[in-house]
């Protein structure tokens, strides 16, 4: 990808799944990566796999505003700038999910915190230095659940649709400053969450996907790398579904 080598990339939720695959992709492209995740061992392993200084592992809870600020300050002290932000961290209610009329507000608040508020907080910390330099890329993690409106995922779909609104408004604000803001909306991607699904559920997911299969985290990583590259310099405010055709714009 053009324009990624030597860039400084911050990725939240970089320890596993899509976040880890994207971190590896940027590292392979020659970027320097700040890898943030609750699982410190996972980001340490990511850092150990590349030359010293190319990856800064940061173990933190991305819903903790003070921890986010400390991470950004540490990254700025080491690298001097952040060129690309991938707000990847997010989570559905998982085992606490179910029909809306049986759901609890505490669960909604958790899902909104980790899937929407963390992205807004991190962007608020990173965007000012991008504006000063007149350049930058922000990519936010949404989901095709927001587009389709999956039953049993009301809180998650609400949070991820919020990410889309956030992406559009921020893109309009930052376009005059040379910064693009886009979102990706994955569908069925093979991550640790899929390990807990039954064969029957996985079969149903494949049947609902026109492409007929469940994608790999690397399929999303490639799209994120494109949106972060110079090849996507004229794309902003968009949400790219990566779901095998389940939602067609």
User: What are the pLDDT digits (tens) for 93-131?
Assistant: 677 778 889 889 999 999 999 999 999 999 999 999 999
Walk along the chain (249 residues) and give the pLDDT tens digit of each residue. 899 999 999 999 999 999 999 999 999 999 999 999 999 999 999 999 999 999 999 999 999 999 999 999 999 999 999 999 999 999 886 777 788 898 899 999 999 999 999 999 999 999 999 999 999 999 999 999 999 988 888 999 999 999 999 999 999 999 999 999 999 999 989 887 777 778 888 898 899 899 999 999 999 999 999 999 999 999 999 999 999 999 887
* Residue extents of the structural domains in the chain: 8-241
In this prediction, residue 179 carries a pLDDT of: 98
The answer to whether residues 88 and 138 touch, using CB atoms and an 8 Å cutoff, is: no
In this prediction, residue 1 carries a pLDDT of: 82
The answer to whether residues 156 and 115 touch, using CB atoms and an 8 Å cutoff, is: yes
Cβ partners under 8 Å of residue 9, min gap 6: 23, 26, 31, 32, 33, 34, 82, 83, 84, 85, 86, 228
In this prediction, residue 30 carries a pLDDT of: 97
In this prediction, residue 248 carries a pLDDT of: 87
Catalytic residue (choose from 79, 86, 156, 166):
156
In this prediction, residue 93 carries a pLDDT of: 67
pTM: predicted TM-score of the whole model, two decimal places: 0.94
**CATH code for the domain defined by 8-241:** 3.40.50.720
Q: Is 156 a catalytic residue?
A: yes
């Amino acid at each position: 990808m053009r324009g990624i080598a030597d860039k400084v990339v911050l990725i939240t939720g970089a320890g596993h799944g899509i976040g880890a695959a994207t971190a590896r992709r940027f590292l392979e492209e020659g970027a320097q990566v700040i890898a943030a995740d609750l699982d410190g061992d996972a980001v340490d392993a990511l850092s150990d796999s590349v030359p010293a200084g190319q990856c800064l592992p940061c173990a933190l809870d991305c819903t903790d505003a003070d921890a986010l600020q400390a991470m950004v300050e540490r990254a700025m002290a080491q690298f001097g700038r952040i060129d690309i932000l991938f707000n990847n961290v997010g989570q559905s209610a998982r085992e606490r999910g179910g029909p809306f009329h049986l759901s609890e507000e505490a669960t909604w608040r958790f899902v909104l915190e980790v899937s929407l508020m963390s992205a807004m907080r991190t962007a608020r910390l990173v965007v000012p230095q991008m504006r000063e330099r007149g350049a930058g890329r922000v990519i936010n993690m949404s989901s095709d659940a927001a587009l389709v409106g999956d039953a049993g995922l009301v809180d998650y779909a609400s949070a991820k649709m919020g990410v889309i609104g956030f992406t559009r408004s921020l893109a309009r604000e930052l376009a005059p400053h040379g910064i693009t803001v886009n979102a990706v909306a994955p569908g069925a991607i093979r991550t640790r969450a899929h390990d807990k699904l039954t064969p029957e559920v996985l079969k149903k997911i494949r049947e609902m996907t026109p492409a007929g299969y469940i994608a790999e985290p690397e399929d999303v990583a490639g799209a994120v790398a494109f949106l972060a590259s110079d090849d996507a310099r004229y794309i902003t405010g968009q949400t790219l579904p990566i779901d095998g055709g389940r939602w067609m714009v």
